Each structure stands twice: as C-alpha cells, then as structure tokens.
Amino acid sequence: MMSREKTTAARLSTGLATSGRSTPLASQSNLNQAAIGSNTVLSQSPSTMMASNGSPANAGPSQTIRFRTGIRNTVYDAMRDRGWKEADGDMDWDFFWADVHWIHETFDHVYLQEHQRINHFRNHYELTRKDLLVKNVKRMIKSIEKEYGKTESQKFDFLSPSYVLPAEHALFTEEFKRNPGSVWIMKPVGKAQGKGIFLINKISQINGWRKDVKGNVKGDRDGDDAPEAYIVQRYIENPLLIGGKKFDIRVYVLVTSYYPLTIYIHRNGFCRFSNTQFSMQAKDISNMYIHATNVAIQKHSPNYISGRGCKWLLRNLKLFLTARHGSKAVDDLFTEMEASVVRSLMSVQKVMINDKHCFELYGYDILIDQNLKPWLLEVNASPSLTAETQWDYDLKHAMVQDCFDVVDLERRHSGKSIRPRVGGFDLVYNDGPVRHERTSNYASYLGCHQPIPRAPRQKKRFGKPSTPAVKLSGNPNTYSPPTALSGSQDQLVS
Ligand code: ADP
C-alpha cells in the first residue's frame, strides 16, 4: 500500500499525466483549472461530493449554539452576532474558539462529544512553528525528489533557504561561506509579531551571539539562560516594492480536514506595508522599520500615520500589479501563491493528527520578490483578529462569518454537497485540486472582488477616522492606483 505522502505525490503525477503539462503544480498558470489530483470539477452550484465537516449532530438549525472563548475580538462579536450564546461550564459548549495554550495543555485530557468543534488541530505547530515548517517542507522536497525527480521537487521551493539553530549551525556556516556577503534574518521559533528578529551579514554576528558551555548557540536577547531555538533564513534582498516600500501579504486559509485534505482560501487578504523607504545599505541593516513589515513593529515607526495605517486590500494589489506587469504575470503570481499554500499543507498532511472535531483558520504571510516569485515567510495559528479601524473590523468580521458558514455548526448544509464557494472562501483543494467553473478571468480567485459588508456593530472605540491622505471619493471598494502609498482610506487601512 502507498504511504500517504506517496499518495499525494502520486496524485500530482496523475494530474501531470491527465493534463499533459510538464509542470504539475508549481508553475502552471492555472492551479484551479489544471487537471491535477482528483480532478474535482466544481461549478457554483453544489457538486456531487458529500460534506465532511462533522457538524454538530445535536445542534440543528433551530438550536442555539453554545460557544466558549477567552478572547474579546471580532471572533467573539461574530459568534454573538450569529445568535450563539456564551457557555457557562468548562466543557458545556458546542464550539470552542480556544487559544493554542489550551490546545497544548488540555486538549489531550478531555473527551469531546461527537458534535463538539474546536478551532485548532492538536499538533498545528507542525505547520505553524517556524523550525517545524522548515523541517516538514525539507522532508517533503526529499521525498518528492526521490519519487519523482528534481523538477517536481523544485516546485516545493517556496521557503527561502533556512536552517534551525543551534542544531544546524555547522550546515549554516558552510552555506554562509559559500555566499559571502549574503544577508540572513534570524527569527526565534517561538515568537511572533517580529519579536526578537534581526538581520546579519557577517558570520561573527552569530558566533558572538552566544555559546553555552557545550558550544551550542544560545539566545541572549532576553537575558534568558535557556537555549532559544532560532531559524536563520536567507533574507529576500529584492522584495517587490510599491512606492519604494516593502510589504508582505496576509492570506486567510481554512483547513476543515487533513484527511481528506480540504482547503479553502479567502479572497480578501491584505498587504502590510513598511512606512520607511526600503534600503539594503549596510548602515540600514539593523533598522527593523525598513525590513520587518509586521504591524506590531510599524505602529511604532516614526513615519507611521495613526488612522491611515499601513494595509492595502489584496484586490487593490492585484489590480495595481495588473496595470504594472500585465494580467498574465499577475495571474501566474496569484496562482503560484495559492499553490504554495496548498503545497505547504501537503507537506504537513502526513504528520498532522486529523480530528473531525477540529478545523483551523491560518494566517499565511507571503513576500513577493521583484521577479514576482512568492515566498512563504510563516504560517500563524492565531492570526490577529483584533481590529484597529472600522474597515479592518468589517473585513475580519466578514471573513470570520464566512469561516463559520463553511464550518456550519448550525447544520444548515448538513448532508448536502460540499460547497465550492462560501462567502469569500473558495474551495481550492479537496483531496486533490479543485477545478471551478470560471466566473472570472483569473486562474486564482485569491484577491478577486469580494464585498466587505458593514458589520452589525460599530466599533466606537476606533474613534473618529483621521483625515485620509487623499480625499475619499465614491465607492470605497473602487480602485485607483496609489501614488507612493498616499492612497485613500479604503486602500490604506490598519
Ligand atoms: P514573526 O513571526 O515575528 O512575524 P516573520 O517570519 O513573519 O516573523 O517575519 C517578520 C517580518 O520580517 C515579515 O513580516 C517580513 O517583513 C520580514 N521577513 C521575514 N523573513 C524574511 C525573509 N526571509 N526575507 C525578507 N523579509 C523577511
């Protein structure tokens, strides 16, 4: 019998044979239309596949869903806006939006009833911890190369070269010596929001970093004596710039099952811009306002304009790049982004503990370089769903509602076919790539138009919107190209 990884790879090659293409997943111009894997063809009306989302058996449409959560953000509001009621007891819930600490500490010690659902897979960290993502993708590359050759395995080349420290210190040193003068980024594996990251361009910056008595490299940033694992990753020195500024992209990805692997991607992602002109000059190497695009860092930049923020709707990026690079190049780029998401999930499918009670809403961080190649930076298990402006609130609220519509705790779609599109979520993989009947000219729906309805609640605490850099005109969802990032409030939000 074939291993699961081999089965996945076999599907890729089956698709290759079926489609007659020489590039089964990575560089095809149309991931959705390509005949790969199970070749599921979905129209906007339901197909013949049955839902596998394990909706609560005892919570029919007339029953009120009882939820538990410790957070107070868009997710909490979205649950209440659906008419769900907060549960009283620790286990007396139908749905639990848990934090990852609860998953690590408690999940293994509780018994879930058939209908209960929870928002993380038990060992999500195989995908969301930076070192484990690197390890799993490297293993997938080796396995594909062995089975199908280098051309196939190169399609999984969506992570910039990375080494785990201290374990791969010697390997990294060798690699660094082969590329003298190259720039690398150090990232603590267990931190987020840009905490503890810094750039290096000399090996001595790592050697001097700290060594314990056994010669292992240790972190010394927090005065912590325990060794802290880092990944050191080749820095993308040629990021695509808009208005001279670097940006990365946040994409929301919903996995409802790992067996079969079932992936939805939301159309409304966004870009997060640096507020400072990009520079690779040696004197700027330690300036994180230039190099790290995390909102948590940019908010403290001297150039940050409160109320204008540093975000841009993915759709606006798509339109802007189409004007700049043409539709074919942009279509390829977005298809490639989608393919990288799918491949990263394929890389962990084998090690992930599937559980019908679980689903997961991941926040993917992607950087595009000047050759329009997307690089996966990391995957977040707990993407920030706290809003900073009303627009941000509306976007996240609508996306979370779409997520709950897919998961369907209310069992509105129980027993019916799996749905190819639910709000802004498009089904892109269901035990094989999904072919949609096209309703747009784009191969990937990522970044395609998806209206952002006003959420039922006004988030008064955002206060009065500050004066936009350019006067707002007309429909906030319409597009006009930005000039050096001085767009209108609808384009630049935080
Ligand atoms: P964190 O979990 O701390 O947010 P990330 O991996 O997302 O860590 O990195 C933080 C930021 O640093 C990113 O948003 C991006 O702007 C920048 N960055 C990270 N890795 C790279 C890289 N390999 N090349 C260029 N920029 C990077």
**Which of 157, 187, 287 has most ligand 1 atoms within 8 Å of its beta carbon, as the pocket-test mutant?**
187
Q: Which helix (H) or strand (E) holds 343?
A: helix 327-349
Distance 294 CA to ligand 1 centre (A): 8
Atom of ligand 1 at shortest distance to CA of 246?
16
Is the pLDDT assigned to residue 44 strictly greater than 90? no
- Compute the residue count for the chain: 494
Other CB atoms within 10 A of residue 487 CB: 22
> Percent of the chain at pLDDT above 70?
74
Which residue's CA lies nearest to atom 27 of ligand 1? 235
Atom of ligand 1 at shortest distance to CA of 247?
16
pLDDT, residue 211, reads 54
Ligand 1 neighbourhood includes 292 CB (under 6 angstroms) = yes
Distance 430 CA to ligand 1 centre (A): 30
389: burial class by Cβ within 10 Å (0-12, 13-18, 19+)? buried
Ligand 1 neighbourhood includes 193 CB (under 6 angstroms) = yes
Two tokens at 222?
């927090």
Ligand 1 neighbourhood includes 187 CB (under 6 angstroms) = yes
**Residue 396 to residue 437: CA distance in whole angstroms:** 27
Report residue 437's pLDDT band, with 50, 70 and 90 as the boundaries: low
Atom of ligand 1 at shortest distance to CA of 272?
14
Residues 6+ apart with CB under 8 A from 321: 329, 330, 333, 372
Other CB atoms within 10 A of residue 123 CB: 18
pLDDT, residue 416, reads 77
Is the pLDDT assigned to residue 46 strictly greater than 50? no
Range in 25-39, 121-135, 240-254 with the lowest mean pLDDT: 25-39
Is the pLDDT assigned to residue 38 strictly greater than 90? no
Is the pLDDT assigned to residue 90 strictly greater than 90? no
Range in 7-21, 97-111, 316-330, 368-382 with the lowest mean pLDDT: 7-21
**Residue 359 to residue 261: CA distance in whole angstroms:** 11
Burial 292-310 (b: 16+ CB within 10 A, else e): bbbbebbeebeebbebbbb
Residues 6+ apart with CB under 8 A from 459: 387, 390, 393
Distance 292 CA to ligand 1 centre (A): 6
Mean pLDDT calculated for residue range 250-267: 98
Supply the mean pLDDT for the chain.
Answer: 80
Q: Which SS3 state, helix, strand or coil, does residue 402 take? A: helix
Q: How far is CA 344 from CA 49, 55, 156, 320, in A?
A: 24, 26, 8, 27
Report residue 31's pLDDT band, with 50, 70 and 90 as the boundaries: very low
Is the pLDDT assigned to residue 472 strictly greater than 80? no
Ligand 1 neighbourhood includes 185 CB (under 6 angstroms) = yes
Atom of ligand 1 at shortest distance to CA of 380?
2
Report residue 446's pLDDT band, with 50, 70 and 90 as the boundaries: very high
Is the pLDDT assigned to residue 3 strictly greater than 70? no
**Residue 114 to residue 111: CA distance in whole angstroms:** 9
pLDDT, residue 10, reads 40
Mean pLDDT calculated for residue range 101-110: 92
Tell me the per-residue pLDDT of 209-256, one tens digit each, with 9 for 90 and over: 555 434 454 444 444 455 678 999 999 999 999 999 999 999 999 999
pLDDT, residue 333, reads 97
pLDDT, residue 225, reads 55
- Which one-letter DSSP state was computed for residue 1? -
**Closest by alpha carbon to 226, among 215, 218, 236, 214?**
218
Range in 24-38, 149-163, 385-399 with the lowest mean pLDDT: 24-38
Atom of ligand 1 at shortest distance to CA of 378?
6
Is the pLDDT assigned to residue 21 strictly greater than 50? no
pLDDT, residue 210, reads 54
pLDDT, residue 306, reads 67
pLDDT, residue 221, reads 42
Is the pLDDT assigned to residue 486 strictly greater than 50? no
Q: Which SS3 state, helix, strand or coil, does residue 163 take? A: strand
**Residue 217, φ and ψ in degrees, nearest 5:** -75, 135
Range in 33-42, 68-77, 84-93, 176-185 with the lowest mean pLDDT: 33-42
Q: Is 335:30 a contact under the CB 8 Å cutoff?
A: yes
Ligand 1 neighbourhood includes 9 CB (under 6 angstroms) = no
Ligand 1 neighbourhood includes 217 CB (under 6 angstroms) = no
Residue 348: half-sphere exposure toward Cβ, Cα within 13 Å: 27
Tell me the per-residue pLDDT of 369-414, one tens digit each, with 9 for 90 and over: 999 999 999 999 999 998 878 888 999 999 999 999 999 999 999 8
Distance 296 CA to ligand 1 centre (A): 12
Tell me the per-residue pLDDT of 189-215, one tens digit each, with 9 for 90 and over: 988 888 889 999 998 888 655 554 344
Q: How far is CA 293 from CA 161, 238, 245, 309, 333, in A?
A: 20, 15, 10, 12, 20
Mean pLDDT calculated for residue range 431-454: 82
Ligand 1 neighbourhood includes 365 CB (under 6 angstroms) = yes
Distance 194 CA to ligand 1 centre (A): 7
Which residue's CA lies nearest to atom 18 of ligand 1? 292
What is the distance between the terminal CA atoms of the chain, rounded to a whole angstrom?
A: 51
Distance 244 CA to ligand 1 centre (A): 18
Range in 106-110, 116-120, 137-141, 237-241 with the lowest mean pLDDT: 106-110
Ligand 1 neighbourhood includes 271 CB (under 6 angstroms) = no
Is the pLDDT assigned to residue 13 strictly greater than 90? no
Mean pLDDT calculated for residue range 51-74: 68
pLDDT, residue 43, reads 38
More confident: 478 or 362: 362
pLDDT, residue 243, reads 94
More confident: 249 or 37: 249
pLDDT, residue 439, reads 60
Q: Is 15:33 a contact under the CB 8 Å cutoff?
A: no
